[in-house]
């Protein structure tokens, strides 16, 4: 299982999130706080992760912006479903639980990965994946889980603020 660690922990620099497997750093992620963008380092490969025309993309650093090798797009806002293209491998996602969150990624009818969160006051994304899924792809799906959780938090905050404004207004 991959787990997104706390920024600056496990020997990473300030603002860098370690990607941990069994407590060991297997990759790093420097995620933007203001945009749906990040830089991931997996081994000696650096990935540029970003949002482009409504699609979340991943390309190797140094490649042209339109050379995305990894893509994910939301197929249904209401159902919370996504479709990911990981260098030619297409996965579709479905929500695991409306209450706990998380997504299950399927290739045909076979589950190849599932996202979740760590427990506690500040939950962080986790990813349990089939060994057939390359680490680069797993890190992309983990980042996708981070993006989804931030979107969910923003929507919940907006709903609370909207409700408070409506309740307080006359």
Q: pTM here?
A: 0.88
Q: Which two tokens stand for residue 61?
A: 């650093």
| Neighbour tally for 117: CB within 10 Å | 17
Question: Can you say how many angstroms the Cα of residue 162 is from the centroid of all Cα atoms in its chain?
Answer: 27
Report DSSP state, residue 98. Answer: T
CA-to-CA distance for 14 and 78, rounded, in angstroms? 36
Which of 106, 67, 75 shows the shortest CA–CA distance to 58?
67
pLDDT tens string 8-27: 999 999 999 999 999 999 99
What pLDDT is recorded for position 120? 76
Question: Strands, E, within the chain: which ranges?
Answer: 2-4, 17-21, 24-31, 38-42, 45-52, 55-60, 70-76, 81-86, 89-95, 103-107, 110-117, 125-129
pLDDT tens string 110-137: 999 999 888 778 788 899 999 999 999 9
% of the chain beyond a pLDDT of 90: 63
Question: Which domains are present in the chain?
Answer: 2-168 (2.40.160)
């Amino acid at each position: 299982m991959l787990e997104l660690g706390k920024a600056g922990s496990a020997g990473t620099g300030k603002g860098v999130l370690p990607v941990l497997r069994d407590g060991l750093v297997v990759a790093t992620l420097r995620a933007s706080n203001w945009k749906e963008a990040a830089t991931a380092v997996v081994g000696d490969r650096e990935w540029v992760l970003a949002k482009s025309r409504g699609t979340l993309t991943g390309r190797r650093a140094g490649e042209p912006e339109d050379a995305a090798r990894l893509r994910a797009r939301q197929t249904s806002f209401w159902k919370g479903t996504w479709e990911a293209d990981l260098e030619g491998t297409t996965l579709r996602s479905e929500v695991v639980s409306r209450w706990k969150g998380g997504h299950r990624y399927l290739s045909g009818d076979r589950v190849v990965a599932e996202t979740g969160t760590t427990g506690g006051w500040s939950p962080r994304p986790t990813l349990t994946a089939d060994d057939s899924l390359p680490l680069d792809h797993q890190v992309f799906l983990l980042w996708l889980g981070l993006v989804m959780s931030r979107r969910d938090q923003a929507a919940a905050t907006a709903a609370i603020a909207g409700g408070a404004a409506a309740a307080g207004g006359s």
